[in-house]
A = this chain, B = another copy of it.
Amino acid sequence: MDITAFPEIEAFILHWGEMGTHWGVNRSVAQIHALLYLADRPLHAEEISESLKLARSNVSTALKELQAYGIVRRTHVAGDRRDHFAAETDLWEMTMRISAERKRREIDPTIAFLAELKERIDVRGNVPPHIGERISRMHEFIFTLADWSDQVRRLPRPTLVKLMKLGAKVARFVGGPAPKA
């Protein structure tokens, strides 16, 4: 399957690459992910490199990143020494893994940082009180969201899908008003 044969495939890959850049994922990583998502068989690094016209070394680095996210796995093809790579195609699974990894990399350290900062502010004593309050509120807020995301991530997929489809109607279970539309 040569991607240049289908402009639609190329368009998807380019769009996905751009999306990546808007969300802090580098373009090559996102493009390779898109390519593997569309592929119906595992691809080796050389193929990827040629298809996307990226340096072989760049592909290597990007694949490591995708594996760190847990959304691409290495597989082997009989009679071929080269590593082959396949993307997770279950989109819920993919989303959960990306969110878990980004939480680990960025959110957890931020929570720790805010806790430490609040401590330092309290020790110092002479910082205007509203500063401590704002920092505390941010800490608590991010912690609450992060904790919620951890719980949601552990839900069985079918439960998650049901909840999602329910949308704002879940509000009725906590005594909220019926949603308007």
**Chain A residues near B (Cβ < 8 Å):** 1, 6, 8-9, 11-12, 15, 19, 21-24, 37-38, 40, 89, 91-92, 95, 106, 110, 113, 117, 120-121, 124, 127-128, 130-131, 134-135, 137-138, 141, 144-145, 147-148, 151-152, 154-156, 158-159, 162-168, 170-171, 173-177, 179-180
For the residues of A in contact with B, the DSSP-based class is helix
Q: Assembly of this chain: how many copies? A: 2
Is the pair B121, A8 in contact by a Cβ cutoff of 8 Å? yes
Is the pair B8, A91 in contact by a Cβ cutoff of 8 Å? no
Given contacts A23-B24, A174-B162, A179-B154, contact A128 B168 (CB under 8 A): no
Determine the chain B residues whose CB is within 8 A of the CB of A173 once the complex forms: 170, 173
Q: List 18 A-B contacts (CB under 8 A).
A: A8-B131, A9-B127, A11-B117, A23-B23, A37-B134, A38-B134, A148-B167, A152-B168, A154-B180, A155-B168, A156-B176, A156-B177, A159-B175, A159-B177, A162-B176, A163-B171, A163-B174, A173-B173
Given contacts A162-B174, A174-B159, A174-B166, contact A19 B147 (CB under 8 A): no
